[in-house]
Chain A
Amino acid sequence: EAGVAQSPRYKIIEKRQSVAFWCNPISGHATLYWYQQILGQGPKLLIQFQNNGVVDDSQLPKDRFSAERLKGVDSTLKIQPAKLEDSAVYLCASSLQGLREETQYFGPGTRLLVL
């Protein structure tokens, strides 16, 4: 079974530029999560999708971050414009139905550096 795929693996941009990350979850998984992990910290949930609907985006900085999952499969996370403090690893995870007892499967992450 293929795992969660993310691209690109690394990205370096200058502040005020825009950037987009892509995630392909495990086949058949209805729930998709985007997390932000700043160096030295644990991951923080940015947004959770159930199929193509948003379940929780309470911690997403909506003035600059956006995410979509149009067909309930792949997802993209965009930052526009980027700030220095957005430097972090962006992790995508998926689970079968989003039940709290389920395992979340994580991708390798995209490491973003904003200069």
Chain B
Amino acid sequence: KQEVTQIPAALSVPEGENLVLNCSFTDSAIYNLQWFRQDPGKGLTSLLLIQSSQREQTSGRLNASLDKSSGRSTLYIAASQPGDSATYLCAVDFGNEKLTFGTGTRLTIIP
């Protein structure tokens, strides 16, 4: 069964620190992987998309890496800010042209 796992479910970090969010997936034959952000009462916002042939993608303070052989992706957030507080979701296209989402990590940045 193709599954996406995100641990921990919740994370609290003091403002200004760098942090890493984890995502693991069961099948290494993926097409692409995306990281989304979800704010309370709002929909999802796409942050970064990594194709299966890529190792990482960067956007501002965000850097996402992909290691297909180990079935893992990480989202690195540099110099965290209170506005980064949200739930971060990892989603994988396992080649079936649909996104399978993890359960997310709820991030709280402590001012």
Q: Which residue of A lies closest to B98 (CB)?
A: A45
B58-101 vs A, CB cutoff 8 Å, 1 = contact: the mask equals 00000000000000000000000000000001010100011111
Interface size on A, residues (CB 8 A): 20
Q: Are A91 and B43 in contact (CB under 8 A)?
A: yes
Q: Are B46 and A103 in contact (CB under 8 A)?
A: yes
CA distance A103 to B45 in the complex (A): 9
Residues in chain A within 8 A of chain B (CB atoms) = 4, 40-45, 48, 56, 91, 93, 100-101, 103-109
Q: A42-B91, A42-B103, A42-B104 are in contact. Are A108 and B97 (CB under 8 A)?
A: no
Chain B residues near A42: list those with CB within 8 A.
Answer: 4, 89, 91, 100-104
- Among candidates B42, B51, B98, residue contacting A108 with C-beta atoms closer than 8 Å: B42
A54 to chain B, nearest CB (A): 13
Q: Are B98 and A43 in contact (CB under 8 A)?
A: no
CA distance A105 to B44 in the complex (A): 7
CA distance A101 to B49 in the complex (A): 8
Q: Are A108 and B43 in contact (CB under 8 A)?
A: yes
Q: Are B44 and A106 in contact (CB under 8 A)?
A: yes
B19-45 vs A, CB cutoff 8 Å, 1 = contact: the mask equals 000000000000110000000011111
Interchain residue pairs A-B with the least CB separation, the first 9:
A42-B101, A106-B43, A106-B44, A103-B46, A45-B98, A107-B43, A43-B101, A108-B43, A108-B42
B84 to chain A, nearest CB (A): 19
B14 to chain A, nearest CB (A): 26
Chain B residues near A93: list those with CB within 8 A.
Answer: 43-44
B66 to chain A, nearest CB (A): 15
Q: Which residue of A lies closest to B31 (CB)?
A: A100
Q: Are B46 and A45 in contact (CB under 8 A)?
A: no
Q: Which residue of A lies closest to B6 (CB)?
A: A42
Q: Are A100 and B97 in contact (CB under 8 A)?
A: yes
